[in-house]
Amino acid sequence: MSLFDTYKCISFSREGRILTITLNLPETLNAVNAELHTELARVFIDAADDPDSDVVVLTGAGRAFCAGGDADWMQSAIDRPAGFERTAIEAKRIIFSQLDLEKPLICRMNGHAMGLGASLALTCDVVIANDKAKIGDPHVSIGLVAGDGGAVLWPQMIGYLRAKEYLLTGDPIPAVEAARMGLINRAVPAEALDEEVYSLARRIAGGARKAIRWTKVATNIGLKQLAHSIMDTGVAYEINSNISRDHAEAVAAFREKRKALFSGD
């Protein structure tokens, strides 16, 4: 049995030594529910152990890369906050398993990447996006702390001042602008996305495997040190914000298709 046969929310395909991992919940824009979150916490470990690949591409099915957290799942976390402890453990595993993956990881950002979707993209080694896509971390817009990656990743990509502007407002950034500021590598027309992603993947797969992998390992050391120093605190604050009145109001407003009225509690 393949390592990947048990996945329900993620699909897999291969081209030579390139493994493509696809978030496969297109009907919900690949929004992360409990099952997908659990699968994300192990998929990069399984990719690391896969003997038949040297480069990994991460993408989404349908018109979005990943829309962030699923509203029903967020409501269940509000109703049963004790279950959020497992989610917190998984959140750290997702980020660290991406950073620990020695194989180069390319994000094929086929559509919008929001919240956890943005963190998944930015923890990759290269991000190539559809130029009509947007990327953003709107945790604060739903009354949550951006603790599952945003606080670690964004300042390293675009600097603290600019990162805090976007993390504190939750504003999305068009892919072309994100590329200009250095948040992602480049934005290309949708019809050119596969060629851009897979030509790079093929080039890397044809290179000196040990040199490439160990260069990634060495380059990621500083980012991993930061993640280890920040993630526990960030996730703890996010757990606290999960039980806030503002978060409950934001989720209710989203489900009721109205504007949230925050009280500051």
pLDDT in tens for each of the 265 residues of the chain? 678 999 999 999 999 999 999 999 999 999 999 999 999 999 999 999 999 999 999 999 999 999 999 989 999 989 888 777 889 899 999 999 999 999 999 999 999 999 999 999 999 999 999 999 999 999 999 999 999 999 999 999 999 999 999 999 999 999 999 999 999 999 999 999 999 999 999 999 999 999 999 999 999 999 999 999 999 999 999 999 999 999 999 999 999 999 999 999 9
In a domain, 203, yes or no: no
Question: Domain of 97: which CATH number?
Answer: 3.90.226.10
In a domain, 263, yes or no: yes
Domain residue limits at 116: 1-191+208-265
Catalogue the long-range contacts made by 164-167 (C-beta closer than 8 Å, 24 or more residues apart). 166/136, 166/137, 167/137, 167/139, 167/140
Hey, what are 148's tokens? 């599952």
Hey, what are 260's tokens? 């949230």
Give the pTM: 0.96
Question: Residue 139's closest CA among 163, 164, 166, 115?
Answer: 115
In a domain, 23, yes or no: yes
Domain count, the chain: 1
Q: How far apart are CA 150 and CA 137, in angstroms?
A: 7
